[in-house]
Structure 1
Amino acid sequence: MCYYIYNNVYLIGTDFICPKLIEFIRSETKEPKLADRLEYLGEKKAGLAEMVLTVLRYVDYYTDDEIEKLRGILTTLNTQNVYERLKTRADRLMLNECYYAAIRSYSQIINGKKDPSLSVVFYSDVCYNMGVAYARMFLFRQAQNCFNEAYSLSRHEDCKKAAMAAGRLAFNSESSNRVEFLDEQTDEEYVIRREIEALMDNAMYSDGYRHIDDIYKNKDEKSIGEQIERWKEQYVRYTG
């Protein structure tokens, strides 16, 4: 139960510590003292953070440092509903480059029942962030769809620009050519085209590109093997 709480804290609400769970702790886990304590906190209308931390400290499954780290998260979550917690979880997964897991969380928000208490901007941000996650996995067509949806909600120019860029990159990827564009294009599309070309040209001078280029030129089997292993680790993290 501690493992579930710690790893799903963004999905846990104040109704998680309910009478049914307290009875389970009392009868099934044979921990009447913990059950009594949670019952007492429930009667006092204690917050989510206090009740969850009580369970974690009692069982002593996690270290004090890990529990203190969780305290800060719980303090913020006390003021959020389930969808806001899901977005917080997805955003943190994005920061850790766990893109597929982040997409799953964003999808739960988009595909769930619309919450009238949440603003249009909130849902636009969810779509935009999911587009970023897809783009970082080089799934540009899916990214374009997310950016378009974000723009339809908020009409924010950054969303429109991102959708156009993702569309151009998807076209390039699908045609297997280096940034080829249709002859007919708007002024905005032309600007996006030039920006993408500039980014691709500048990429050749990045440390990452030079490292790969050196490995390719030197035909160093050891370095090639190490690089492949790093890519494998990245893939597992991205899609895990």
Structure 2
Amino acid sequence: MGRVLLCLGKYAERPYFLERLYINVYSVEELCYCLMQNSYLIGKEIIDEKLVQWLEGECGLKELAGELGEMMASGCSAAGFAGRILDYTGYGSREEIEKAKNDLEREADLSVHEKRMVKADYLVENRKYMSAIKCYDSLLEELPDGERALKGRVLHNRGVAYAGLYRFRNAADSFRRAYECGKREESYISYLAANRMFMEEREYVNFIAAQPRGYDQTLKVEKRMEDAAGEFEGTEESRMLFTLKVCKEENNSVSYYEEVERVTDDLKEEYRQMAEK
């Protein structure tokens, strides 16, 4: 049987915005959930007077707010500040709380550029691709020349974001530049795969023939394509497409076109959300 969590304080009328996560929270429990699940993303910005005021004014947690205010005055760390919130609410097990604290302490050791990359990677994981690309572009402009390894990682992950938007030409360019910086095999394979997605077959064959490492690596690309196709067969989307095919073959044009319109509208809305800046 799971552990029962008792709610503390009030449900806020006005949320607190966690800038690193692009999330509004309305209760201390929601705040704790975000801290636990995304501790590696939280930095010194969590030590915020506005958060203390929100906990007291909106959530009615005067005692916790007072303790946090004293910690701020004494120059506490982000790990200590967030850890006190978790300890006070009893959200999560002792092991989970300690893990969150350790993640926060490790985050403090990252460079400014690495922290910004972590933020952009988080956006990719949550399919906020255009916002992530904007972060990657800004980071690339500021990276010093000596950070070639980090630049390669940023370019690679930007390629992943472009691929998520089906902008495979842009993705291929990012993967190519990533490989030039870091010489990582994964970047090279991704470069080939991105070209595979937008080139015509003859163009792709000629492209591979001109690549010094093309033949061996393209076999890996084709294997990944086959694996992806196999995984897709068991998905809800695959079953939906099969149903549409049956409707069309049975000349059930009304159901077919109604469903096509619905699916198209859903895909458009999903893409709009991914492309939001």
Does the pair score TM above 0.5? yes
User: How has the CA–CA distance of structure 1 residues 4 and 193 changed in structure 2, closer, same or farther, with 3 Å as cutoff?
Assistant: closer
Is 2:150 aligned against 1:128?
A: no
SS at 2:213 equivalent: helix
SS at 2:127 equivalent: coil
Other-structure match for 2:133: 103
Cα separation, 1, equivalents of 2:117 and 2:43: 14
Would the aligned equivalents of 1:49 and 1:75 in 2 still touch at CA under 8 Å? Answer: yes
Cα separation, 1, equivalents of 2:224 and 2:242: 18
Letter of the 2:137 partner, please give it: S
Other-structure match for 1:189: 214
Q: Give the stretch that moved more between structures: 4-13 or 71-80.
A: 4-13
Would the aligned equivalents of 1:99 and 1:239 in 2 still touch at CA under 8 Å? Answer: yes
Is 2:33 aligned against 1:3?
A: no
1:40 counterpart (58, 70, 88): 70
Deviation per CA, 1:20-74, whole angstroms, max 9, x where unpaired? x68x96xxx8xx998875563245331113335768999x9xx957xx88x9264
SS at 1:3 equivalent: strand
User: How has the CA–CA distance of structure 1 residues 13 and 92 changed in structure 2, closer, same or farther, with 3 Å as cutoff?
Assistant: closer
Identity value in percent:
23
Cα separation, 1, equivalents of 2:171 and 2:140: 15
Cα separation, 2, equivalents of 1:156 and 1:204: 25
Other-structure match for 2:171: 143
Q: Give the stretch that moved more between structures: 127-136 or 8-17.
A: 8-17
User: How has the CA–CA distance of structure 1 residues 152 and 163 changed in structure 2, closer, same or farther, with 3 Å as cutoff?
Assistant: same
Unmatched segments (≥5 aa) in structure 1: none
User: How has the CA–CA distance of structure 1 residues 6 and 82 changed in structure 2, closer, same or farther, with 3 Å as cutoff?
Assistant: same
SS at 1:80 equivalent: coil
Letter of the 1:99 partner, please give it: Y
Cα separation, 2, equivalents of 1:111 and 1:120: 13
Cα separation, 2, equivalents of 1:99 and 1:90: 9
Cα separation, 1, equivalents of 2:161 and 2:130: 7
Cα separation, 1, equivalents of 2:20 and 2:189: 38
Would the aligned equivalents of 2:129 and 2:275 in 1 still touch at CA under 8 Å? Answer: yes
Would the aligned equivalents of 2:189 and 2:218 in 1 still touch at CA under 8 Å? Answer: no
SS at 2:166 equivalent: coil
SS at 1:7 equivalent: coil
Would the aligned equivalents of 2:189 and 2:220 in 1 still touch at CA under 8 Å? Answer: no
Unmatched segments (≥5 aa) in structure 2: 1-14, 23-37, 249-254
Count of aligned residue pairs for this structure pair: 222
Cα separation, 2, equivalents of 1:212 and 1:187: 39
Q: Give the stretch that moved more between structures: 192-201 or 208-217.
A: 192-201
Cα separation, 1, equivalents of 2:173 and 2:133: 13
SS at 1:100 equivalent: helix
User: How far 1:131 moved relative to its partner?
Assistant: 0.9
Would the aligned equivalents of 1:165 and 1:196 in 2 still touch at CA under 8 Å? Answer: yes
User: How has the CA–CA distance of structure 1 residues 152 and 13 changed in structure 2, closer, same or farther, with 3 Å as cutoff?
Assistant: same
Cα separation, 1, equivalents of 2:83 and 2:127: 28
Would the aligned equivalents of 2:189 and 2:221 in 1 still touch at CA under 8 Å? Answer: no
SS at 2:162 equivalent: helix
Cα separation, 1, equivalents of 2:175 and 2:265: 32
User: How has the CA–CA distance of structure 1 residues 37 and 204 changed in structure 2, closer, same or farther, with 3 Å as cutoff?
Assistant: closer
Would the aligned equivalents of 1:127 and 1:147 in 2 still touch at CA under 8 Å? Answer: yes
Deviation per CA, 1:164-191, whole angstroms, max 9, x where unpaired? 3323434x1xxxx446432752463244
Would the aligned equivalents of 2:131 and 2:275 in 1 still touch at CA under 8 Å? Answer: yes
Would the aligned equivalents of 1:110 and 1:123 in 2 still touch at CA under 8 Å? Answer: yes
